[in-house]
């Protein structure tokens, strides 16, 4: 018994299915190959520094190009502290702005302000760095640090965070600039997440007599928790890897101290400044590659932690 011939349209559709199947698999493989290539490149480039300094690369506070003595402590701490300051300032700002745009402001005002937020997210980072130099640095040096020193320098533990001459550059300045940079990204994501909350849930809560605060705390936040974690991780990734804006305002001094107003450095700013001056094959170049490798591992660990938090709070 002979089988009926396969219609040409079905065969063509079958061929396209196979094509798109392998196309998408190839795209995923290219992404994994690129990520793996970056990790291998940074690891092999920093291998000389890891083998030369050993554990001292992770527990010594030194970055001396003259004597070729290097460690990761100072720039890594600067990266973590500046990103933490940025998140502490940006998360409440982004959350409040997103909630106001989606639940309080009128449709016309929300459209105008939402467009302004999106435009702010498109501003190049170097513009934020220039804005920080001409605006935030003088404000920190002339107003903020003298005010804190006058009122809080005798408070235990707090006074040590305010020491140093009022030069304006430092971790606090870079944290403020980073907060302004990452807040629009986080706000845009949170707006989309808050907008996906079913209106019936909020309307039912209002109908039962719930206040706006109760609706936000008991309905919007639990419903949007995963998306909010994603927005925070997006902002944290931008803060950890930002280069030019931080280089403008952090002071670029590779030391460790308690003061938030003293000049410091981050991994990205240190690489940007010293990479062009490092000869090929030198221990200095290898140390910079090792810094990049450690920053990649730190970013990957933060993403894994975020996925764990999202998975454990469904």
What dihedral do alpha carbons 169, 174, 177, 179 form, nearest 10°? Answer: -150
Q: What is the pLDDT of residues 189-206, one digit of tens each?
A: 899 888 888 888 888 888
What pTM value is reported for the model? Answer: 0.86
**Topology (CATH) of 46-311:** MetI-like fold (1.10.3720)
Least confident stretch, 8-17, 19-28, 130-139, 280-289: 8-17
The pLDDT assigned to 14 comes to 54
Q: What is the pLDDT of residues 178-192, one digit of tens each?
A: 999 999 989 998 998
**Looking at residues 286-312, what average pLDDT do you find?**
82
**Looking at residues 210-228, what average pLDDT do you find?**
87
- The share of the chain scoring above pLDDT 70, in percent, equals 93
The answer on pLDDT for 234 being more than 50 is yes
The pLDDT assigned to 256 comes to 87
Mean pLDDT of the chain: 86
- List alpha helices for the chain, DSSP H: 8-45, 47-53, 56-59, 73-103, 107-121, 125-131, 137-139, 145-152, 171-195, 199-207, 212-215, 221-223, 225-241, 244-249, 267-274, 283-311
Are 120 and 186 contacting, i.e. CB atoms less than 8 angstroms apart? no
Q: Give the up-direction half-sphere exposure of residue 62: CA atoms within 13 A in the CB hemisphere.
A: 13
- The share of the chain scoring above pLDDT 90, in percent, equals 32
Where are the chain's structural domains? 46-311
Give CA angle at 115 (113, 118), nearest 5°.
110
The pLDDT assigned to 12 comes to 52
**Confidence label for 9 from pLDDT (cuts 50, 70 and 90):** low
Are 74 and 63 contacting, i.e. CB atoms less than 8 angstroms apart? yes
The pLDDT assigned to 314 comes to 46
The answer on pLDDT for 105 being more than 90 is no
The pLDDT assigned to 1 comes to 47
- 31 exposed, middle or buried (CB, 10 Å; 0-12, 13-18, 19+)? exposed
The answer on pLDDT for 278 being more than 80 is yes
The answer on pLDDT for 42 being more than 50 is yes
**Confidence label for 310 from pLDDT (cuts 50, 70 and 90):** low
**Confidence label for 8 from pLDDT (cuts 50, 70 and 90):** low
**Looking at residues 110-131, what average pLDDT do you find?**
89
**Confidence label for 313 from pLDDT (cuts 50, 70 and 90):** very low
The answer on pLDDT for 225 being more than 90 is no
The answer on pLDDT for 18 being more than 70 is yes
**Looking at residues 33-52, what average pLDDT do you find?**
90
Are 174 and 246 contacting, i.e. CB atoms less than 8 angstroms apart? yes
Are 195 and 272 contacting, i.e. CB atoms less than 8 angstroms apart? no
The pLDDT assigned to 87 comes to 94
Looking at residue 155, the DSSP 8-state letter turns out to be: S
The answer on pLDDT for 70 being more than 70 is yes
Q: Is the dihedral of CA 298, 301, 305, 311 positive or negative?
A: positive
């Amino acid at each position: 018994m002979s089988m009926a011939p396969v219609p040409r349209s079905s065969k063509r559709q079958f061929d396209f299915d196979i094509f798109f199947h392998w196309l998408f698999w190839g795209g995923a493989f290219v992404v994994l190959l690129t990520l793996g290539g970056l990790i291998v490149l940074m690891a092999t480039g920093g291998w000389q520094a890891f083998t030369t300094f050993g554990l001292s690369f992770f527990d010594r506070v030194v970055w001396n190009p003259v004597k070729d003595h290097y460690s990761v402590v100072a720039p890594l701490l600067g990266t973590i502290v500046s990103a933490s300051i940025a998140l502490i300032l940006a998360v409440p700002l982004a959350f409040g702005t997103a909630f106001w745009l989606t639940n309080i402001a009128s449709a016309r005002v929300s459209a105008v302000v939402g467009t302004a937020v999106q435009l702010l997210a498109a501003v190049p980072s170097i513009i934020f760095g220039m804005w920080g130099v001409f605006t935030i640095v003088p404000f920190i040096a002339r107003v903020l640090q003298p005010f804190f020193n006058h009122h809080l320098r005798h408070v235990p533990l707090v006074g040590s965070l305010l020491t140093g001459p009022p030069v304006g550059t430092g971790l606090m300045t870079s944290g403020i600039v980073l907060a302004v940079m990452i807040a629009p990204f986080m706000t845009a994501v949170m707006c989309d997440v808050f907008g996906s909350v079913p209106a019936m849930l909020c309307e039912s809560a209002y109908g039962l007599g719930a206040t706006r605060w109760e609706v936000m705390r008991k309905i919007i936040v639990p419903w949007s928790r995963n998306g909010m974690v994603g927005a925070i991780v997006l902002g944290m990734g931008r803060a950890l890897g930002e280069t030019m804006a931080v280089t403008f305002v952090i002071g670029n001094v590779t030391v460790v101290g308690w003061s938030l107003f003293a000049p410091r450095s981050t991994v990205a700013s240190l690489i940007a400044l010293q990479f062009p001056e490092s000869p090929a094959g030198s221990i200095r170049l290898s140390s910079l590659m090792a810094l990049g490798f450690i920053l990649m591992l730190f970013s990957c660990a933060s993403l894994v932690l975020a996925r764990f938090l999202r998975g454990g709070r469904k």
